[in-house]
Structure formats: structure tokens, C-alpha cells
Amino acid sequence: MTTRFPVPLSGAKAPTLLWTDESEIEDTALQQLRRMSTLPWVHGVRVMPDVHVGKGATVGSVIAMRDAVCPAAVGVDIGCGMTAVRTDLTVGDLPDDLHRLRSLIEAAVPVGFAAHKNAVNPQRLRVGGGWQAFWDGFDDLDPRVHSRESKAHKQMGTLGGGNHFIEVCVQGELRDGRWVTGDADAVWLMLHSGSRNIGKELAERHIAVATALPHNRDLPDRDLAVFLSGTPEMDAYRRDLTWAQEYAARNRAVMLELVCGAVRKCFTSKVVRFDEPISCHHNYVATEIVDGQELLVTRKGAIRAGGGELGLIPGSMGTGSYVVRGLGSEQSYFSASHGAGRRMSRNAARRRFTEHDLVEQTRGVESRKDAGVVDEIPAAYKDIESVIAAQTDLVEVVAHLRQVVCVKG
């Protein structure tokens, strides 16, 4: 399958390519993209098909910069991303009533603003190594967050709220618009979360520092304030950013093991086995070679899709997700979308939709159906099938998944 994208963004200063039609992007997001392209440090901008308005910089944008980083182009949930694992369970193993499985997951992983009563011991869970060195790094973070260390420990292995989720999914395929799966198709676990409160606090503190720097005084939007290479402010931000990205990755690893434990409790009649997890950030900074130059690349609501690299692109809580393999597109700065992307704000979704609408749109999914998650209703998101179709030059589909259990905060 071929795609007619990318197309250039009209009125942009730095080269800006879109993997969607300009007419499909709301005016506020277009303004954000054009403003970002005017920054003197910007080499180029790449815009994914799930693009929508964000704080300062759009969600769904990849920005390559020379000797500078814009914290708003990373986002306040530093290191937010996805993890998924295929189990050896099949559709035929699943009970008709999935409420108990959802309850076991919710008992194992705190959601929303909640934290573990006592910090999880990752060594007991056998989740990776280097934990002592990682936590020792907390002392090197911005002193203004040092009082949050206990909270950071207790939030390790927690979900958060908003669009974060834990799902049990089944593998299958769409045929003539209908979802088709068989008893032998695989069951997957998937989750979406980031660096929790500590990442948010670090981001907000550094953004405040950046906006006060003299070189940012005449920017078209103060939210686009940048740090410059070779300055103490940049060094401090990169140090804290790197630690928060690692916190996010470790948070997902701990959570995944807790979810795997809940699955084991639910299926006691067999030993459940899990493949190697797939994990990817979609709010982060990396030093990469772009157009033959070493540049600082920020992905905010975008994943890296280098040649052969596995990634995860979720839809909404009622429409399914994709496991993909990157095709290594140099045009996209080796990137792809991070999800379906919102088509309306949370407030607009709450005004437009009801709990009854949520029940109808999540039929067949064991999940919350109350007013607290109406803003996450599938209709508030773009069509995931169209998003995938727009980037066939960026990724190839490895597996198509549909959720049967969805846990949200």
C-alpha cells in the first residue's frame, strides 16, 4: 500500500512535513506548528497523522534542533510511553466474564492519583537491575523536587489517569469492517504510562527556568522557550530529563510485572508464559543523526521507527491497537505516530457525550463506564485505522489487537 504523504505545511519557515492533510488539523495546532518552525534553532519539523494541540508544541510532532531543546516539545509527562507483551494464553483461554481479571489488575496497580502504600521492591519482582544507582541519582536532581522522593518511590509501578491505561487485548484482524478472531489467537497485555508526578514537577520547574532566560524574550510564544547547549541550564535539564525518562521506563516495567502477576492469579490452572516485552517512549529527547548532522530530536506524541524497530500505536479504549515495525524513514526523522490522537478536547467530549454513549462505544470491553472517563470515549479520538493507513511508508503492521479489558484511572 502506498501513501500520498508527506506533504509540506504551508507558511512554515523551517521545512515542515505532514503525514496528514493540512485541512484535517485544527487551526490552533497549525498555528503552533508554524510558530515552532520560526525558531532559529529548528532544523525541521515532522508532523504525525495523530497531531493535535498541546501545551506550546503540538502532540504528534518531531522536532530536530541545532544546539537547543524546547522542553514544551517534550511535554510535561517526560518519558511517557507504551509497553506490551504477548502471552501464551489464547482467546479460547479467556473466561466469558472478565470482571475478576480486571479487579485483580486494579488491586495490583494503583490508578489515578493513588500510590502504593509501601514502595514496591523491584528486586523481589525481579524487574531489571541497577536500582540502587538509579535511586542514588535522585540526589542530583533539581533541589526543588528533593521533598518528593518518598512520593516518587511509592508511585513507582502506578498508572496515573487521563489517557493512561492497562489493557488485556486479543490478536485478530479486520475483515470487511468486522473484527475477526479465533480461539487460537494470542492474548496480549499492554499499558501506557510515564514518569508520574516526579516527571511533571521536573518538567514544570525547568520550563519556568527557560521562559525567564534572556534569549527567549522575543519568542512568538513563551511556551516555546529553549535551553541552549553549553549552558548550565541545559546541562541541568538534560540531567533531570534523562533520569525522568529512565523513571518512566522502570515504572512501566514494574507495572507490567504486577499485571503479569494478576494474570497468573486469574489463570491458576496453567503456567502462563510471557514473551520479551516491547517498550517505547513517545515523549522524550535523543541525540540523533538527521540529514547527516548530529541534532537534538524531540518526540512529543511520536515514537522512534528506525528500520526493524518494534513500536506500539494504540487507539482509544474501544477501538484497538497496533504492534508495528519501523521502516526507517529518513524523511520522518525515523518516526511514527504514538496513537490515534485526540480529535476533540476533554471538555468538549464531556459536553458532547454521556455515560450512555460510553457504554455503547465500549460494548464488549470490560472497563469503567462512568462519568469519570467519558472524556476518554472512543469518539473523542481520531480513527486509528486512518492514522495507520496514513503512515504505511513509516511502519508495517506486525499485529492488530483489540482490547477486552481496559483499566483506567
347 is in an annotated binding site: no
366 is in an annotated binding site: no
166 is in an annotated binding site: yes
54 is in an annotated binding site: no
Torsion of CA 240, 242, 248, 251, to 10 degrees: -90
130 is in an annotated binding site: no
User: Which residues have CB under 8 Å from 139's CB, separation 6+?
Assistant: 146
Residue numbers annotated as active site:
338
95 is in an annotated binding site: no
225 is in an annotated binding site: no
43 is in an annotated binding site: no
193 is in an annotated binding site: no
55 is in an annotated binding site: no
306 is in an annotated binding site: no
Measured CA to CA, the distance from residue 312 to residue 33 in angstroms comes to: 25
105 is in an annotated binding site: no
106 is in an annotated binding site: no
Using CA of residue 244, residue 158, residue 204, residue 339, what is the dihedral sign? positive
190 is in an annotated binding site: no
Q: Which residues are annotated as a binding site for GMP?
A: 163-167, 282-283, 314-317, 321, 338-341, 408
Binding residues: 77, 163-167, 192, 282-283, 314-317, 321, 338-341, 408
Binding residue numbers for Mn(2+)? 77, 164, 192, 282
